[in-house]
Structure 1
Amino acid sequence: MIDFANLKKAHLEQKQAIEEAVLRVCRNANYIMGEEVKGLEQELVEFVGGGYAVTCGSGSDALLLALMALGIQAGDEVITPPFSFIATSEMIALLGAKPVFVDISLEDFNIDCALIENAITPKTKAILAVSLYGQPPDLERLEFLARKWNLKLILDGAQSFGAEFKGIKDSLYGDVATTSFFPSKPLGCYGDGGAIFTRNGDLAEKIACLRVHGQTQRYLHKYVGIGGRLDALQAAILRIKLRAFKETIQRRQEVAKWYDGFLGNCVKIPRIIEGRVSVYAQYTIQTNQRCKLQEHLKKYGIPSVVHYPLGLHLQECFKDLSYQKGDFKKTEIASCEVLSLPMNPCLRKEEVKGIAQVIKEWFNV
């Protein structure tokens, strides 16, 4: 049986260092904020190559804090893709703002920048783009559009921490970029965790304040904020994992190359666009025979996951937005055809070859 994310094996590779770090936090009994969190934030800045990093309790918290810090409020509109995990649009709606959906490109499953200007209205305040499956969208084009229309640009990089666009980490693009440290993410902790990145020091200070209930100092509150701190235990674990993260990315990319080579032309495989570097949060193929292929894989003990089976414009929680089936045709095609195969840095070449052979067998290739 192949493990989809292989978290147990990943732990064993850094078992001693991680368990010693956890024990150190327990012995110090400093569980909230403190030196582990400060150390992680500095190391994250060093990894991405500049700016500021503010950690928080989850990827969803990161999005919420980013939107709050940028002043998004009730009645505002935020442009975002309908093909993403719900947190992207959910955080917009939680602030009373309106998610305005723009369809994706089937080339990279990210927002189609050519469609954005048609969705801009006087109420539009921001673009919240997503780096889906580990590959950034066209960040250069997005920054141009944001400047042209005087909009804020937020990147939901929950699946792409460590990815690059034209030689620069995607965390350094836009007004704010966010990420998630959910366990199965390329850089994952042992629970929930997230971070916000910005090149603006004042904005970083505001975000840091918002994550502790808007406090500037104990019991003095400048803003209405949230309880969005990262636990010291998770910070300590992430500091250990970050040390080997460059190698982890390289291993994920190697697994993807194996898939590319073994699968050949039997299914549509991800295209990494020139100038972009993916960290392969998922390895996602596209086929109009998804359900049958999933059943076939299951017979061989090969897990697979659909990211995502229903566009956000058709979710019941967004029915008040009055979108209809057919409004975002490429999202609906992707929702019916994408299938994520096992992807983790612990996969062996023979395992990837075996998965590809089972898929090719189904297509009689």
Structure 2
Amino acid sequence: MTRSPATPLPPPKARRRLRETAALTQTQLADRVGVTPGTVRAWESGRTTPRGRKREAYAKLLKTLAEEGAVRAPEPEPKLEPESRPQPQPEAKPQPEPEPKVEPEGKPQPQPDSQPQPQPVAAPEPVALTPAQAFDALYAFSAPALVRQTFLLTGRREQARESVERAFQAAWEHWPEVARDRDPVGWVRATAYEYALSPWQRLRPRHRHPEPPPADPGDRTLLNALLRLPPRHRRTLVLYDGVGLDLPETAAETEASTPATANRLLRAREAVAERLPALADPQVLHRRLAELASNERLRAAEPPTVRRGGERRARLRTRAAIAFTVALVATTALTVRTAPTHYEPPVSPGQAVRGVPQRVAPGALSDEELELRQKLRDQMQDGPERLSPRLE
């Protein structure tokens, strides 16, 4: 499964060259695009690819920088090609007529007017490769070496093989971009190293079981020294002394500045030389790294298997995204359907009121109450006796 990018972009090294030609730092370019400087470093190293609106803005800015660089560059003077001026043709000299051959019977035989000229053989036209054939050729050319290099970073054979396969699957998914890149092997190598050194690898159950070390004691000691280095220093050492990249290319692939990369390289060499003094010479270290990677029998899978695995993973991700989207839409529709259209305040629960005397139901009067009522009725309703009661 392949996908064509929405907007064409120059290769990562060309992006960095356009920025440096325009005398812009990564921070300045990041401010103009609206991203962080780390994102610009990832774009220029080829680890990640801009998408969406950021890709449109980045492509437009690079196009503007390229046009400004073309305007600043002096135009070369036009040169006349040799074919632009007519050349005098030499006059044809008369050729002597061949003498007729005389046969034994004495009859002359006619000779042909001219000898047949050999026809020029046309050069074979280059055969255009299909995307699958081009991918298989790249995989067959670089996969074995990348597996050995990744083994120097992880010390695990299965993890190195899986990292390279995942990197090539990502390359097949973004094949139109990788095919136009000036260094497709570098694109795949950066992706494989990033996957191999991911801290999430430690959480996998397979990481808890150690693999058998190399059989040679010298190789085992060198591999232990490499694994004791910090991941960034180890990656810098493998790229510079193992793969053979120069310092700017190593800095671009590790997303660091050139001084920081040089400092990491020196510290990594010092750490290895402290454990193995015989490897203090960079040439000897390069030879030993190559021997350590070559002594391990690491085989990569077949290209069609990697392509099919990448396509299968892409289909699974697509189906999972579709299922998640359908579930989200269904949940949203159900919520909209069942949600109330107006607010109804909740009814507060009842509470018992204390301190109020209990209500007495009316009933028959007692004898004392009847006597008191009769006494009140017999007395006068007005007069001084009502104002000043007397004791009886």
Instruction: Return the TM-score normalized by structure 1.
Output: 0.27
Whose helix proportion is higher, 1 or 2? 2
Whose strand proportion is higher, 1 or 2? 1
**Per chain length, whose mean CA-contact separation is higher, i.e. which structure has more relative contact order (CA < 8 Å, sep 6+)?**
1
Instruction: Return the TM-score normalized by structure 2.
Output: 0.26
Give the greater-gyration-radius structure (CA). 2
